[in-house]
Structure 1
Amino acid sequence: MDVQLLIACSVMMTLMVLLPGPDWAYLIAAGTRERTILPSLAGILVGYLAVVAAVAVGVGAAVAALPWFIVVLTLAAAAYLTYLGVRVLREPPVVAAVAGGGAATADGTLVGAGAPAAASARPWVRLLQGAGVSGLNPKGLLVLVVLLPQFTDAAGSWPIPVQLAVLGLIFVGACAAVYSIVGYGARRVLRLRPSAMRVVSRVSGAAMIVLAGVLVVEQVTHLVG
């Protein structure tokens, strides 16, 4: 593949990942609530890898030709984000200050001062949740189904499915880099200011619900227009 094409694709993919969306809200919530963000981050990446595989084998073109499918998928994503957001708002982490510069959750587990909070869900549950967030993320589908094919070269030496797979992996790599910073950045805030844990958690939960509403409004506007 053309090196300049790969660079242009990398820049575009990174810019798209930098735009806050459902993935950001989910990783921020994981960073403030869980012992480690790795299962949640892995779930996000697995969801996108599944979409990349589908696009590479030609499913993306079929989906792009079915506008109603995108609408259904968007509404499903909005419902799922609302569920996650309500759950975060109803079950925010409870932190109380303790000696030694740390804090403790309601069950006495130390957090802050380098000690992580107790995980609120099993790793495999968080992996599945992350896969659901990214697999249903309309922004990710827009990038992989609509934008990605524009960077392929029909005259190139690589088959189109291989080009799509490579370009998709660039997008997944950008997600891994950016979302690691987002998730661990949220954890850093928690360590420096444990009292901010509840605030950040509530903001991320509310952000999921707001994003869900925006997705629904965009689809309704598009259908009416």
Structure 2
Amino acid sequence: MDSATLLSFLALDFLLVCVPGADWAYAIAAGLGGRSVGWAVAGLVAGYALHTALAAAGLAVLVAGSPALLTALTVVGAGYLVWLGWGVLRRPAVPDAGETVAAQSGLRVFGRGAAISGLNPKGLLLYLSVLPQFLAVRGARLPVPAQTAVLGLLHMACCAAVYLAVGLLARAVLGARPAAARAVTRTSGAAMLGIGAFLLVERLATL
């Protein structure tokens, strides 16, 4: 793989990561809910580490080729997003100005992030539809699994940078504005709930 290919992939991947979705919503909610942005982002990245491992091992193709397995993954992931989004809507954890709020358990925040990205079928499809376009099958110095791992690591680094910036920016800009922060948090919860419902309906409609 040459540097031009890596830069081209990174540019496209950056644009995709910058499109708001469930990951953005969770990063924003974490930024407004306490000192847990790092744990939340680490969890999101860990979920994509799972996708990278599946793709490098060739299991992603197996999952995509099994309608029943992909449907089950979609239902579980969508159901989790709906549950998490509803919880955020009911209890937006936003600090009042000047008030110190106890952060949630770091491992709990990490686990939620990993579940959101790891169970997101759109993440799996990203590895199936985008990554293969940048893999060199013939005459490459690295085997395809190694190339997949390299691109997966680039995607994880891009996610870490963007989601960390989103979470920290949300805290810095809205942390001292409780009313606006609650509105944004509820919007993030609604986004997670809506994305989960959309994924569920979209997948069940294809059956």
Check whether TM > 0.5.
yes
Q: What is the match of residue 98 of structure 2?
A: 103
Flag the structure with larger Rg: 1
How far apart, in 2, do the equivalents of 1:71 and 1:15 lie?
27
Q: Secondary structure at the match of 1:103?
A: coil
Cα–Cα, structure 1 residues 94 and 159, in superposed 2: closer, same or farther, change >3 Å?
closer
How far apart, in 1, do the equivalents of 2:94 and 2:157 lie?
34
Q: Which structure has greater helix proportion?
A: 2
Q: What is the match of residue 126 of structure 2?
A: 143
The unaligned stretches of length 5 or more in structure 2 are none
Cα–Cα, structure 1 residues 72 and 64, in superposed 2: closer, same or farther, change >3 Å?
same
Preserved contact between residue 47 and residue 135 of structure 1 (Cα < 8 Å):
yes
Preserved contact between residue 77 and residue 138 of structure 1 (Cα < 8 Å):
yes
For the pair 1:191 / 2:175, whether they are aligned, the reply is yes
TM-score by length of 1: 0.85
Post-superposition offset of 1:95: 4.7
Post-superposition offset of 1:149: 2.0
Q: What is the match of residue 12 of structure 1?
A: 12
For the pair 1:123 / 2:110, whether they are aligned, the reply is no
Preserved contact between residue 27 and residue 166 of structure 2 (Cα < 8 Å):
yes
Aligned amino acid, residue 21 of structure 1: G
Q: Alignment identity in percent?
A: 44
Moved more, 209-218 or 160-169: 209-218
Post-superposition offset of 1:55: 1.2
Q: Secondary structure at the match of 1:195?
A: helix
Counterpart selection for 1:217 from 194, 197, 201: 201
Preserved contact between residue 29 and residue 185 of structure 2 (Cα < 8 Å):
yes
How far apart, in 2, do the equivalents of 1:68 and 1:9 lie?
31
**C-alpha distance after superposition, 1:137-172 (max 9, x if no partner):** 122111113321221101111111110000111111
Preserved contact between residue 95 and residue 195 of structure 1 (Cα < 8 Å):
no
How far apart, in 2, do the equivalents of 1:208 and 1:50 lie?
21
Cα–Cα, structure 1 residues 103 and 148, in superposed 2: closer, same or farther, change >3 Å?
same
Q: What is the match of residue 144 of structure 2?
A: 160
The unaligned stretches of length 5 or more in structure 1 are 97-101, 110-116
Q: What is the match of residue 47 of structure 1?
A: 47
Preserved contact between residue 93 and residue 197 of structure 1 (Cα < 8 Å):
no
Post-superposition offset of 1:221: 3.3
Post-superposition offset of 1:12: 1.8
For the pair 1:66 / 2:50, whether they are aligned, the reply is no
TM-score by length of 2: 0.92
Length, aligned pairs only: 206
Aligned amino acid, residue 14 of structure 2: T
Q: Secondary structure at the match of 2:141?
A: coil
Cα–Cα, structure 1 residues 4 and 200, in superposed 2: closer, same or farther, change >3 Å?
same
Preserved contact between residue 33 and residue 95 of structure 2 (Cα < 8 Å):
no
What's the Cα RMSD here?
1.6
**C-alpha distance after superposition, 1:154-195 (max 9, x if no partner):** 111111111000011111111011111111111012234233
How far apart, in 2, do the equivalents of 1:157 and 1:93 lie?
50
